[in-house]
A and B are shown apart, each in its own frame.
Chain A
Amino acid sequence: MADQTQDPAPGDALLVPVGESVTLRNTVANAIETAAEEGFAEAHFVTPVTWHHVGDVDRAAREAVRRLLDRVSVWADEDTPEGGPTVRTNVIGSDEYLFSPDDYAAVLAEYADEHEIERILVDPEYSPGGNVPLLRPMEVALAKRGFEVSEAPTSRPVRRSRLTRAGGALQFGLLFGVSFLFYQLLGGFSIVTGDSFDFFYELFSGSLAAGIVAGTLYTVSLSDRTRIRSLLPQFVRLVLFVPYLLYEIVKSNVVITYIILHPKLPIDPRLTRVRSAVWGGPALTTLANSITLTPGTLTVRTEGQDLYVHGLFAGAREGIAAGSLERAVRFVFYGRRTAAIPSPEERGDYEELQGPDAAPAPPDGGEEELP
């Protein structure tokens, strides 16, 4: 990483927001090329980050970002010709929430103004909000602020859909194993109980079926990079989590049974929004599904880390505001030490969108950007 301290001349640098994406390598190469061609003195690679600043759970996330930027600077140095642009890398926005495309645009603009940058190049597959497509609206918001924004052309013949990510041998292997096991399960495990003909027949047909499934789908499922090392403790904690969840389900089912069978139907449904302190596909999915499974609460929609939760009655909403499920999910995915965090209500991450003390924003009918 070649840092230099003197201020560059105005408009003499290129800003590239980067994140984990399939076209990151291409984007870095293209950014350096563009910078060299157009005579920029510096190329800034920055990562806007969204983590919460509670506890030290985000150490893993910080580590991941640091490694990403290291990789970017290595690639950039590799590509930089003699006398080419100086490469800088930075993490921005680490002390604030970033949710809407405007938030991203704001922190990028702030950084750009600070360094007097006018030209921004974005990775076409960059997805700052995880599974929420913020890229296009972010570009528009940046362009509105007077920046010159363009997408790095990437040399891929087929544009892959958002669903697919680069899959590796590990993904293929895992999917193959699970499919093969499932196939044998439906066959009643005659691969081990039957005679030798059964064995070879089941082995062949099972491998064929699992091979087809894994071959076609390994880039789609398990889209996150799978880390074997953290998988096992997570699984153990998940097993601990299940009885707790079952207890919660049974407990609140009794309440909801009372309400439904009550002649007057004493419900008071309201839509609420919770800014959850978990991130990433599996953790967020687990939290959203656990909320839905616990009676009286239903995850209607997710938007980044925001969960729109429909609460059927006041007691159910209080449970969400107190955040016990959120703590449990943090325990499962990030470990025991991280479970002790303030509740969403104490953090100010909980609001009711309907009812007497509702926040002004009414539930919108999907006018904004959607996946």
Chain B
Amino acid sequence: MNEFRLAAILALLAGGVFFTFVSIVGVLRLPDVYARAHTASQTDTLGAGLVVGAVVLAYGAETEVIKAVLLLVFIFITNPTAAHAVTRAAYEEGIEPWTEGDERR
């Protein structure tokens, strides 16, 4: 394993953990369901993408790479869809999106 690949793996890992951290801070800090769904679907997806990228690089060229890539594709398709399903449910229950000046929920 050469130096460059090692550095790339470490960078991807660090980036992935960082964006996951951001997404969880977002879920904890943001004021309502809709805003939380933003980070849950997007920042989390990027975090997961970077981590799985690191896994792919670590495996190099083995059949496991296909599974890891497939995992990546799943996450990229299912995460936004799940966020959409959840927020649509919230919308249909009549939860109004939080706007500037409202009380924090």
Contacts and interface: CB of A to CB of B under 8 A. Distances in A.
A370 B41 contact: no
B58 interface: no
B76 to A, nearest CB: 7
A185 B99 contact: no
Given A185-B67, A293-B45, A370 B92 contact: yes
Contacts of A288: 84
A293 B63 contact: no
A206 to B, nearest CB: 16
Q: Across the A-B interface, give the 6 residue pairs with the lowest CB-CB distance, nearest first.
A: A365-B94, A292-B80, A366-B92, A295-B42, A260-B26, A310-B34
A277 B83 CA distance: 23
Contact of A188 (B46, B63, B81): B63
26 contacts: A185-B70, A186-B67, A253-B19, A253-B43, A253-B46, A256-B22, A256-B39, A260-B26, A260-B29, A267-B30, A267-B35, A268-B99, A268-B100, A269-B31, A269-B98, A269-B99, A289-B77, A293-B80, A301-B92, A310-B37, A310-B38, A310-B87, A312-B35, A355-B99, A355-B100, A366-B94
Interface in A255-273: 256-257, 260-261, 265, 267-271
A363 B96 contact: yes
Given A301-B91, A365-B94, A256 B42 contact: yes
Contacts of A355: 99-100
Contacts of A239: none
Q: Interface range on chain A: under 10, 10 to 19, 20 to 34, or 35 or more?
A: 35 or more
Contact of B34 (A185, A268, A269): A269
Interface in A233-259: 249-250, 253, 256-257
Contacts of B37: 298, 310
Interface of B: 19, 22, 25-26, 29-32, 34-35, 37-39, 41-43, 45-46, 63, 66-67, 70, 76-77, 79-81, 83-84, 87-88, 90-94, 96-100
B80 A260 contact: no
A268 to B, nearest CB: 5
A254 to B, nearest CB: 10
Contacts of A268: 99-100
Interface in A294-320: 294-301, 308, 310, 312
Nearest to B82: A292
A308 B19 CA distance: 26
A362 B79 CA distance: 28
B38 A261 contact: no
A295 B83 contact: no
B52 to A, nearest CB: 13
Main SS class of interface, B: helix
Contacts of B46: 249-250, 253
B83 A292 contact: yes
Given A295-B38, A298-B87, A265 B29 contact: yes
Contacts of B79: 293
Interface string A339-371: 000000000000000110000001111100010
B99 A354 contact: yes
Given A298-B84, A300-B84, A365-B94, A293 B38 contact: no
Contacts of B96: 362-363
A289 B88 CA distance: 13
Nearest to B83: A292
Contacts of A269: 31-32, 34-35, 97-100
A298 B99 contact: no
A292 B42 contact: yes
A111 interface: no
Contacts of B76: 293
Given A249-B46, A289-B77, A292-B42, A298 B34 contact: yes
A260 B97 contact: no
Nearest to B88: A301
B80 A257 contact: no
A97 interface: no
A147 interface: no
A50 to B, nearest CB: 22
Contacts of B26: 256, 260
